[in-house]
Structure 1
Amino acid sequence: MNARRKTCRDMSDVRTEIDALDREIVALLADRLHFIGEAARIKASRDAVRDEPRVEDVIAKVRAAASAAGMNPDFIEPIYRDLVERSIAHEFGEFDRLHK
């Protein structure tokens, strides 16, 4: 069992733990979006923004990480597919902004 996972006394404990995790998740997503911007800056061609083999690589890695964490990979995959699509859309916007 993950050392962070604990038994809560009541719903207040549950909500406190979820709120703390949500703050961490948002901070991590902000970091991820920063690196999406870095990709937009570094890529020489707009055609390089959508990279299907990389999308499938990310999904495979996330599914493996979910399994390793004791989580059903079918739960995380659609969340990550949406995240990746939104990230690609953001990268297109950043690419266009940076490479005028």
Structure 2
Amino acid sequence: MAEVRAGVDALDRELLALLGRRMRFMDAAARIMDDLGQVRDEARKAEVIANVVASAAINGVPPNLARDLYETLVEASIAYELRQFTTLARGQ
């Protein structure tokens, strides 16, 4: 069991590193957008989630789990990007 837990912990560190990379793209998006209205793009959100769900089973992930995780991830990313955009717009 210790090996399994160590493997999970190592994988969690890798996932967090990947999430950090994903958030840097949110930083980049906040820098290049012209107005706040561009941050929330429901069509893009639906596309991202659909892509993930389509790839989930291939990767051994239950599609409903992938959908729920990415709903949360995308909403958190939007909130983060909104904060970044607002901070940049204020010149801070």
**Displacement of 1:75:** 1.1
Q: CA RMSD in A?
A: 0.8
Distance in structure 2 (CA, Å) of the matches to 1:21 and 1:70:
15
Describe the SS at the equivalent of 1:13: helix
Pick aligned residue for 2:46 from 56, 64, 75: 56
Distance in structure 2 (CA, Å) of the matches to 1:24 and 1:71:
17
**Displacement of 1:31:** 0.5
Q: Deviations over 1:78-100 (max 9, x none)?
A: 11101110100000000001112
Percent pairwise identity: 46
TM-score by length of 2: 0.94
Alignment of 1:1-100 (within 5 A): 11-100=1-90
Which has the larger share of helix? 2
Give the aligned length.
90
Distance in structure 2 (CA, Å) of the matches to 1:49 and 1:70:
31
Structure 1 unaligned blocks of 5 or more: 1-10
Distance in structure 1 (CA, Å) of the matches to 2:65 and 2:54:
12
Larger gyration radius, structure 1 or structure 2: 1
